[in-house]
């Protein structure tokens, strides 16, 4: 998304390889032309709301986390229905993501289990499973591809080492639910947000091969006045976005975690559920309860595009850039 002139405009989002997907409570998933706001495809997700979306690294498929299932959709066909159904969970699947080469998928759910799914077999094979004592809200994969950080409703962050199955626990704050965990692409920072609106930051120190990552407390701050729902680092690791039930998304500098921008419409957009940065970090997509997704200019704070078409709250989005 970088331009040869160095001037970034929303029209530079025009590229057939850019994928924006949104989903929510209306039991549909929509694919969008990012620079125009036109919906190009609607996928059927009839059985439940969409809890989370993620696009495979090769941009061929879209995973949708839902009640008791993860559905996989083919992005290169006109088939509106899922082509693979990963089942075997007893409650809501709350989060989903992929190993960098697309060999396996990870998920977490309200059944208290984080799972590794083998994608090479297209079956429900789940060669690894990690169980905690409460519902899981979020799972983040370290860029080293061998450690998962699992956040649960009792306020514990579990570091699960896929090489050894060893784990350790981190409790940022008593009586506060972990709602999201994110690790910066440069592996230097971990962020977590909770239901009290607070954001916690750790410095990560990676040891030699086969040694676990160390988490050193760095900072905590009041990010929002109500539940902080998501935290997302920009691809260059310089910015952190947080979303909240207080109707705002905020962008913070990772240098000192000062506020860079508060993104909010004059009319209430209600809960902001999810967010994703563009590849250059100059734009942020958000999904909110007003049934819309939005594109924001991080530098100016202006909303530059609205994606309308959902009939109910948009609770999840996924974005992959062409670069």
State pLDDT tens for residues 97-130.
999 999 999 999 999 999 999 988 767 777 789 9
> CA-to-CA distance for 143 and 149, rounded, in angstroms?
11
Q: 99 near 105, Cβ under 8 Å?
A: yes
Q: 220 near 191, Cβ under 8 Å?
A: no
Count of positions (residues) in the chain? 323
Residues in a beta bridge with 240: 233, 252
What are 129-188's pLDDT values in tens digits? 999 999 999 999 999 999 999 999 999 999 999 999 999 999 999 999 999 999 999 999
- DSSP result, 159-186: EEETTT--EEEE-SSTT--EEEEEE-TT
In degrees and rounded to multiples of 5, residue 283 shows phi and psi of -130, 155
Q: 119 near 125, Cβ under 8 Å?
A: no
> CA-to-CA distance for 235 and 298, rounded, in angstroms?
14
Residues 6+ positions from 263 with CB-CB distance below 8 Å: 248, 249, 250, 251, 284, 286, 294, 296, 301, 303
Identify the pLDDT of residue 9.
57
What pTM value is reported for the model? 0.92
Average pLDDT, the chain: 91
> CA-to-CA distance for 6 and 268, rounded, in angstroms?
34
- Tokens found for residue 76: 């290169």
Report the range of poorest mean pLDDT among 7-11, 192-196, 221-225, 234-238: 7-11
Q: 223 near 244, Cβ under 8 Å?
A: yes
Residue 264 has pLDDT above 80, yes or no: yes
Q: What is the mean pLDDT of residues 206-213?
A: 79
Residue 268 has pLDDT above 80, yes or no: no
In degrees and rounded to multiples of 5, residue 12 shows phi and psi of -70, -10
Identify the pLDDT of residue 323.
59
Residue 16 has pLDDT above 80, yes or no: no
Identify the pLDDT of residue 4.
33
Q: What is the mean pLDDT of residues 239-253?
A: 97
């Amino acid at each position: 998304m970088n331009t040869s002139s160095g001037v970034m405009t929303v029209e530079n989002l025009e590229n057939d390889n850019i994928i924006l997907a949104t989903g929510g409570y209306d039991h549909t998933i929509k694919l969008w032309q990012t620079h125009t706001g036109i919906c190009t495809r609607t996928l059927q997700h009839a059985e439940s709301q969409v809890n989370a979306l993620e696009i495979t690294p090769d941009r061929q498929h879209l995973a949708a986390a839902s009640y008791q299932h993860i559905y996989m959709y083919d992005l290169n066909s006109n088939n509106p229905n899922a082509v693979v159904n990963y089942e075997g969970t007893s409650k809501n699947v709350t989060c989903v993501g992929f190993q960098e080469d697309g060999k396996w998928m990870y998920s977490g759910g309200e059944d208290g289990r984080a799972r590794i799914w083998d994608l090479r077999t297209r079956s429900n094979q789940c060669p690894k499973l990690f169980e905690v004592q409460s519902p899981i809200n979020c799972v983040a994969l370290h860029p080293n591809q061998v450690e998962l950080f699992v956040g649960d409703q009792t306020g514990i962050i579990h570091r699960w080492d896929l090489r050894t199955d060893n784990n350790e626990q981190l409790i940022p704050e008593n009586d506060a639910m972990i709602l999201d965990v994110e690790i910066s692409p440069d592996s230097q920072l971990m962020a977590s947000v909770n239901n009290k609106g607070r954001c916690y930051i750790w410095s990560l120190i990676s040891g030699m091969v086969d040694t676990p990552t160390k988490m050193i407390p760095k900072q905590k701050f009041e990010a929002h006045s109500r539940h902080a729902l998501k935290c997302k680092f920009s691809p260059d690791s310089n910015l952190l976005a947080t979303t909240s039930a207080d109707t705002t998304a905020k962008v913070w500098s990772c240098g000192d975690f000062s506020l860079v921008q508060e993104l909010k419409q004059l009319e209430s957009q209600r809960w902001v559920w999810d967010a994703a940065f563009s590849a250059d970090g100059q734009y942020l997509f958000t999904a909110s309860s007003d049934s819309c997704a939005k594109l924001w200019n991080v530098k100016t704070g202006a909303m530059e595009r609205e994606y309308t078409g959902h009939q109910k709250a948009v609770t999840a989005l996924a974005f992959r850039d062409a670069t």
